[in-house]
């Protein structure tokens, strides 16, 4: 009886393995044709990743609540060299721009509130100062935690590992 899972894919960053995928795991990829998929790996064989993406919808019950129901699935297969990035790249809501706006707005409000403090201390609002510093801090936190796709290339690489199909005599 074999306990080996078969072929698998490794994501390496500068030669160090940071993630691996094998049949039964979920993966999020962007292909060279800018197709974004979140799917389950069903098989990895002959340098090809076989994926299955499930179509799920909300179905309301008589009780007024909803349950998730799988209404179908799509099957895909890609050569592992067709993977452009792990994660999403391309057009989407840009959290980086939003965080930059929050940082810029927080700095601008903090400076303006500081000028008001220097010119007319009666009109100074400590609540506005706290809120503006909070906005800037939120922007910095968003900028640090914004997830971007890991582009396969200089920094990241995918490695296909072929497991031995048969045991060879020693």
In whole angstroms, give the CA distance from residue 85 to residue 158: 10
- Clarify whether residues 69 and 116 are in a common domain: no
What are 2-37's pLDDT values in tens digits?
Answer: 555 678 888 888 889 988 888 999 998 888 888 888
CA distance 9 to 131: 47
The answer to whether residues 99 and 70 belong to one domain is: no
pTM above 0.85, yes or no: no
Q: Answer yes or no: do 80 and 14 share one domain.
A: yes
Q: What is the pLDDT of residues 107-150, one digit of tens each?
A: 888 888 888 888 888 888 888 889 888 888 888 887 776 656 77
Helix H or strand E encompassing 145: helix 126-145
Q: CA of 72: how far to CAs of 53, 59, 100, 118, in Å?
A: 9, 14, 40, 65
Tally of domains within the chain:
2
Q: Which residue has the higher pLDDT, 97 or 139?
A: 139
Residue-range definition of the domain harbouring residue 80: 8-90+148-161
Q: Residue 138, by phi and psi: left (phi above 0), alpha (psi -120 to 50) or beta?
A: alpha
**80 and 134 in one domain?**
no
Residues 85 and 44 in one domain: yes
Residue 71 sits in the same domain as residue 49: yes
DSSP state string for 85-100: EES--SSS--HHHHHH
Q: Within 10 Å of residue 86's Cβ, how many Cβ atoms?
A: 21
């Amino acid at each position: 009886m074999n306990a080996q899972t078969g072929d698998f894919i490794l994501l390496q960053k500068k030669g160090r393995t940071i993630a691996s995928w094998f049949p039964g795991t979920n993966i999020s990829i962007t292909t060279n044709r800018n197709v974004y998929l979140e799917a389950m790996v069903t098989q990895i064989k002959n340098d090809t990743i076989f994926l299955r993406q499930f179509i799920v919808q909300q179905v309301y019950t008589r009780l007024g609540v909803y349950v998730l129901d799988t209404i179908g699935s799509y099957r895909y297969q890609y050569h592992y060299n067709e993977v452009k990035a792990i994660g999403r790249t391309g057009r989407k809501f840009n959290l980086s721009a939003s965080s930059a706006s929050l940082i810029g707005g927080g700095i601008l409000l903090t400076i303006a509130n500081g000028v008001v403090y220097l010119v007319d201390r009666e009109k100074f609002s400590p609540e506005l100062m706290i809120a503006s510093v909070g906005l800037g801090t939120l922007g910095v936190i968003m900028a640090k935690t914004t997830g971007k796709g890991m582009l396969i290339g200089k920094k990241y690489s995918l490695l296909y590992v072929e497991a031995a199909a048969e045991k060879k005599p020693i």
